[in-house]
Each structure stands twice: as C-alpha cells, then as structure tokens.
Amino acid sequence: MRLALAEAAAAGAADDVPVGAVVLDPSGELIGTGHNLREATADPTAHAEVVALRAAAAARGEWRLTGCTLVVTLEPCTMCAGAVVLSRVDRLVFGAYDDRLGAAGSLWDVVRDRRLNHRPEVVAGVLAEESQELLDGFFARHR
C-alpha cells in the first residue's frame, strides 16, 4: 500500500485526484503501477486501477492477471471494479472507502456479485487514514 500511496501522491502533484495503484504478481513482485492520469491524458478511463492493470498485463504479456493482487488507495468505482473482475485479479486490496462511487462494498459490490464469473478476495481499509488524508487535502485545495 505504501507504493500505491506514493503513486497517489504523484497524481496529486500533477493536479489529478490522488489515487494510486500497484499490481503484484503471485510471488509478490511489482509488475504494474499507476495513478490517475485523467487530467494529463484527457482520458476519462485513465483511473489508477486501469493504468496499473494495463501495465501489469503488458508486463505479463497477457490480459489474464490470475494470481495477482491489485492494491489501490481508494475503493474502485464501477468501471474499475469491472476491470478487476474482467482481468481475473485474485485479490483486491484497497485503502479508503468511497461512499459516493465505491463498487467494492460501499455503494455497490460489483467485485463480489455472484452473477459474475470471477470474484476476487477483497481486503478493505488498509492504511485507510493515509489514503483519505491525501484525498481530503487535495479536495480542500480545490474547493
């Protein structure tokens, strides 16, 4: 999570919402990193999770990230939760809950929907305070 927090700080420094993500392979090796790049790329899909999942898939040379863990500082939105399911990530670890857009237990629970073909393990609230502080500081400066 500390690596994901560093990615989130990089997003904040680039004037984007400070969310960061990393992907670890089954042995724990870092194979993908990402932070929000929506402002820099004018891409509405450039969320930290999507950026990190794309990097991990490129590193592995395949889209299936079976056995991998996605660590992200903020609970994924519906788009990102869908990407977690579709990429076959085995474990999702996140920091702060997102009561407004969260899709891993807060508002929706896409990642554990029994109708879907894949349901990763979810570990929530890891370093949640640090994650939330980055977000609170960013939005306090922008309001």
Which residues are known binding-site members for Zn(2+)? 47, 77, 80
* Distance, first Cα to last Cα, the chain: 27
Indicate the residue type of 26: P
Angle, alpha carbons 35-31-110 (nearest 5°)? 60
The Cα–Cα gap between 104 and 118 comes to 14
Catalytic residue among 39, 49, 121, 130: 49
Q: Reply yes or no on whether 49 is catalytic.
A: yes
Q: Would you please indicate which residues are annotated as catalytic (active-site) residues?
A: 49
